[in-house]
Amino acid sequence: MDQWDVAVIGAGPAGLTAACRAAVRGRKTLVLEKNRKPGVKILISGGGHCNLTHAADARGIVKAFRAQGRFLHSALAAFSPQQLVELMESEGVPMTVLPNGKILPANGRATDVLAALMRRVARRQVSSDAREGAHC
């Protein structure tokens, strides 16, 4: 029976990123996903174009969420929208900013964002277990 230092529940963008961060820190990491494939929701986000983030700075993003946005301060301080754009571009996914401030892949394909995240996971030797209907 395998033993893991970290188990991440959910193979969406946050789960895949968290798994990579744990693996970079030397933790044996497993990602558990209830769907048959990871990142299913990424593929439908933004109508299949993957609205990744917004061109506003962290303060602007928090402000857009009004009072409920306060919880975002620490997350955005740890990983800013600009860092996310730089990460995607370093993985070969050029980004574009729409006139409304939305940032998405320049070619409009969410599949490229998912592929970039999966490459990062594979390079860090993160294991995964995707099972349709699995519940934790």
* Digit-coded pLDDT (tens) for 29-46: 999 998 888 999 899 988
Global pTM reads 0.84
Q: pLDDT digits over 48-93, tens only?
A: 899 999 999 888 889 988 888 888 988 888 888 999 999 999 999 9
Please check the confidence at residue 94 and state whether its pLDDT lies above 60: yes
Residues 76, 98: Cα–Cα separation, whole Å: 21
**3-state percent breakdown (helix, strand, coil) of the chain, nearest 5:** 50, 15, 35
Q: For position 130, what pLDDT does the model report?
A: 66
21's tokens: 């961060």
pLDDT at 57: 87
What percent of the chain has pLDDT above 70?
A: 94
Q: Are 40 and 19 in contact (CB under 8 A)?
A: no
CATH numbers and ranges of domains, the chain = 1-40+117-136 (3.40.50.720), 51-107 (no CATH)
Q: How far apart are CA 11 and CA 17, in angstroms?
A: 9
Q: Can you give the C-alpha Rg of the chain in angstroms? A: 16
Single-letter amino acid code for the residue at 58:
A
- When the pLDDT of each residue in the chain is averaged and rounded to a whole number, the result is 89
The rounded distance, in Å, linking the Cα atoms of 134 and 136 is 7
